[in-house]
Amino acid sequence: MPASAEPPPIERRYLLLTFIPYYLDDAGDVWLDQLWHRDFVQHLRYLPKLTLAAPRLRAEDGPDDLVRVELPAGAELELWPLPHVQTTLSAAAQLPLTAARLWRAIGEHDILHSGVAGWPIPIGWVGNAVAMLRKRPFVLMVESAPWRPSTGDEGVKDHVRAAITEALARFFVRRADVVFFTQPSYARTLAREGQPGAHVTPATWIDEADILTREVAEARWAAKGDRVRLLFAGRLVAAKGVDLLLGAIRDLHDRGVRVDVDIIGDGPRRARCEAVAEQVPGLRVLDPVPYGAPFFELLEGYHGVLVPSLGDEQPRIVFDAYARAVPVIASDTDGLRPHVEEGETGWLFARGDRAALAAVLERASEGASTLRRMGLRALAEAPGFTHRGMHLSRWRILHGRFGRR
């Protein structure tokens, strides 16, 4: 089959279970938040008999970025509303109703698509158990492992919850028919060795239209000049390495070394970022911009993107940066190491090592030409990591397992 060829759609009743809500308006139209919509509609290309099991909310109560779901020709979308819960206590109180609805829904479908993580409780724990009891095949998506300790600040309760979640994740992964992992380390630590149906498919969100041509990329680099500007874009929480980054910038400032870094994002560490920015020249805290064209236009103005993550997730911004010919300076974690080639598409530094991060920031501040070379090399990698291509890979895997009765 050619690399771009699409297999036939999977004509099975496919139940997608998530705690990400959908929104219904008075006309009965379905709306999703922008990022979830971007991903969800790709499923409709190859799952024409799709059912969404998720909390239902009113469209008028939704966020400002809601997008209406338009069904492609031949596609059907059924909805199974679940209770909307926001705390562990409310999730526990609604558990009997949730389990009852999932028992019926899974029994009426051929395949369950679920996961092993979630808040306030992983809904997949319920769905996966029901699928096993009802002898239905199930597909798992392991995108991240947020339960794993990463900052060193976790308490006893966090460690107990992490141990339980890890054990259940491993239990369900090893009994699933198909598992999609976003990185090799998840497969190595959760799946059985050589487990059939276990596949690594990195999570990517870029479209072909987001990728600069070589000529445009070179023009963008010519306009940047030699004064290096770096970007951190993400949730402003400890696990993203925000405190580590601020500490490294402060250390350089105390030594008389200036680095120009912009931070964009929201989160509990934003006030701290703003406080440090008032004291350290070169550090700015900017308001977030919508993902899509505004974000990509912002991104291409920088010499490098900073990803000092403490956890082992695989952030999508790596491929966002590559699409705009921007290299990545990242923690040497399981989620980042496979995609940042040292000295070729970016630089890696030891996870959680403040001195190492300070050293690579100083190196970057003096290395505009090296960053340019790595950025153009990163651009060449981007076409292999499009969002559509990611779904095509998963489509082929699902078709190989479920495409024929």
**Over 70: is that where the pLDDT of 404 sits?**
no
**Over 60: is that where the pLDDT of 1 sits?**
no
**Over 60: is that where the pLDDT of 405 sits?**
no
Q: Are 195 and 216 in contact (CB under 8 A)?
A: no
Query: Cα separation of 43 and 216, whole Å?
Result: 32
The pLDDT, as a whole number, for residue 262 is 99
Q: Are 236 and 267 in contact (CB under 8 A)?
A: yes
Query: Cα separation of 300 and 325, whole Å?
Result: 7
Query: Cα separation of 201 and 182, whole Å?
Result: 5
CA-derived radius of gyration, the chain: 22
- 299: amino acid identity, one letter: L
Query: Cα separation of 275 and 233, whole Å?
Result: 18
Classify strands 111-115 and 76-82 as parallel, antiparallel or unpaired.
Answer: unpaired
**Over 80: is that where the pLDDT of 356 sits?**
yes
The pLDDT, as a whole number, for residue 89 is 87
Using a 10 angstrom Cβ sphere, with 0-12 exposed, 13-18 middle and 19 or more buried, the burial of residue 162 is middle
| pLDDT 10s digits, 21-63 | 999 999 999 999 999 999 999 999 999 999 999 999 999 999 9
Chain center to CA of 235: 12
Identify the band that residue 4 occupies on the pLDDT scale cut at 50, 70 and 90: low
The pLDDT, as a whole number, for residue 3 is 58
Q: Are 132 and 175 in contact (CB under 8 A)?
A: yes
**Domain 209-384, CATH among 3.40.50.1820, 3.40.50.2000, 3.30.540.10, 3.90.550.10:** 3.40.50.2000
* Core vs surface per residue 233-254: b (16+ CB within 10 A) or e: bbebbbbbbbbbbbbbbbbbbe
Identify the band that residue 177 occupies on the pLDDT scale cut at 50, 70 and 90: very high
Number of continuous H segments (helices) and E segments (strands) in the chain: 14, 16
For the entire predicted model, the pTM comes to 0.91
| pLDDT 10s digits, 239-260 | 999 999 999 999 999 999 999 9
Tokens 């991060």 locate to 357
- 81: amino acid identity, one letter: P
261 DSSP β-pair partners: 230, 283
| pLDDT 10s digits, 53-90 | 999 999 999 999 999 999 999 999 999 999 998 888 88
**Over 90: is that where the pLDDT of 162 sits?**
no
**Domain 14-204+387-402, CATH among 3.40.50.2000, 3.30.360.10, 3.30.1120.80, 3.30.70.1070:** 3.40.50.2000
Give the contacts of 295 (CB within 8 A, at least 6 positions apart).
233, 289, 320
Residue 215 Cα distances to 212, 324, 379, angstroms: 8, 12, 11
Query: Would you say the C-alpha torsion 117, 118, 123, 125 has a positive or negative sign?
Result: positive
Query: Cα separation of 390 and 206, whole Å?
Result: 10
| pLDDT 10s digits, 199-255 | 999 999 999 999 999 999 999 999 999 999 999 999 999 999 999 999 999 999 999
Q: Mark out the alpha helices in 8-62 (DSSP H runs).
A: 34-43
| pLDDT 10s digits, 95-154 | 899 999 999 999 999 999 999 998 788 999 999 999 999 999 999 999 988 888 888 888
Q: Are 263 and 273 in contact (CB under 8 A)?
A: yes
| pLDDT 10s digits, 306-350 | 999 999 888 899 999 999 999 999 999 999 999 999 999 999 999
Q: What mean pLDDT is predicted for residues 259-275?
A: 98
Q: Where in the chain is the domain with CATH 3.40.50.2000?
A: 14-204+387-402, 209-384
Q: Which helix (H) or strand (E) holds 190?
A: helix 184-190
The pLDDT, as a whole number, for residue 2 is 58
